[in-house]
Each structure stands twice: as structure tokens, then as C-alpha cells.
């Protein structure tokens, strides 16, 4: 990546990487749940599939169209929720939403520190899409 400061604060290496080569960017042939998201304002679309294993998320796949940040978000989310139970996933979702909207997560406990750190590069979007 070229070091271009006014670009790199938003498009960090991890976003470029996962935006270009998503690890989970495919539909699951067998799955327990699926959901679609659609942003008519910008035209982004995503569908996510989940396969459960022993009451935790065993596999995640998605198909999306959108910008690098959008694709990387889906991929990093898939990575972050894999292996988590439903309650745990929900807590992470709330914590991430707070971080993405405000840049901080005052109520996040130590258990969420590691996954949130991984998702931290996405917190820059608060600068382009303010809450």
C-alpha cells in the first residue's frame, strides 16, 4: 500500500486487504439462518448465511456488493462472530455499533477488547458517515 496519509487513516491495510480478498465471501450451501441487508441510499447490498455448530456460530458466509469498507466490514464481522454463541454475538454487535457511531465504547468490558481491537480500523467510518 502506498503511504498516503489522508487516505490511510480511513483505508487502513486491513480494510484494503479484506475489501479486496474477503475470506468469508461466499454463500453457504447448508445453513441455519440467513439475512439480507440493503442500503438504497448508496446501493450496498449484503446477504449473510450462518451455520450453527454446538450452539455457536460454526460457519459464516456472505455475498455483498459495495465499497471496500463495506466488503471488509462484512468479512471482519464474519471473522469476529465465528465460534461465538448468540448472546455473545449480540453483545459484540452492540459494542461495535457504539464504536462505529461514536468512535468509542464506554460500556465494553474486557471480554470484548480483543475482537473490538480487530474491528477498530472500521471506526474511521464514523468520520465519513456520522451517526
Q: Which of residues 78-117 bind another protein (CB under 8 A)?
A: none
* Residue listed under C-alpha cell 480483543: 114
Considering the complex, what minimum distance in angstroms separates the CB of residue 3 from another protein?
10
Q: Alpha-carbon distance 97 to 88, whole Å?
A: 14
Q: Alpha-carbon distance 99 to 120, whole Å?
A: 8
Q: Alpha-carbon distance 43 to 17, whole Å?
A: 22
Considering the complex, what minimum distance in angstroms separates the CB of residue 45 from another protein?
8
State the CB neighbour count (10 A cutoff) for residue 60: 22
Of 106, 109, 114, 128, the one binding another protein by CB under 8 A: 128
Does the footprint of another protein cover residue 73 (CB under 8 A)?
no
Say which residues have a Cβ less than 8 Å from residue 27's Cβ, sequence separation at least 6. 47, 49, 61, 62, 63
Does the footprint of another protein cover residue 4 (CB under 8 A)?
yes
- Binding to another protein by CB under 8 A, coded x per residue (else -) over 10-49, reads xx----x--xx--------------------xxx------
Of 46, 57, 69, 99, the one binding another protein by CB under 8 A: 69
Number of residues that bind another protein (CB under 8 A): 20
Does the footprint of another protein cover residue 65 (CB under 8 A)?
yes
> Where do the DSSP E strands lie in the chain?
33-39, 44-53, 56-65
Name the site residues for another protein (rule: CB under 8 A): 1-2, 4, 6-7, 10-11, 16, 19-20, 41-43, 65-70, 128
Amino acid at each position: 500500500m502506498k503511504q498516503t496519509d489522508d487516505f490511510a487513516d480511513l483505508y487502513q491495510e486491513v480494510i484494503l486487504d479484506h475489501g479486496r480478498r474477503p475470506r468469508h465471501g461466499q454463500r453457504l450451501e447448508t445453513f441455519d439462518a440467513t439475512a439480507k441487508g440493503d442500503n438504497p441510499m448508496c446501493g450496498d447490498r449484503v446477504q449473510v448465511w450462518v451455520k450453527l455448530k454446538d450452539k455457536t456460530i460454526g460457519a459464516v458466509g456472505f455475498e455483498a456488493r459495495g465499497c471496500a469498507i463495506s466488503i471488509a466490514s462484512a468479512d471482519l464481522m464474519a471473522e469476529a462472530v465465528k465460534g461465538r454463541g448468540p448472546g455473545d454475538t449480540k453483545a459484540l454487535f452492540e459494542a461495535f455499533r457504539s464504536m462505529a457511531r461514536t468512535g468509542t465504547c464506554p460500556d465494553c468490558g474486557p471480554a470484548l477488547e480483543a475482537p473490538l481491537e480487530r474491528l477498530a480500523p472500521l471506526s474511521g467510518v464514523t468520520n465519513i458517515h456520522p451517526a
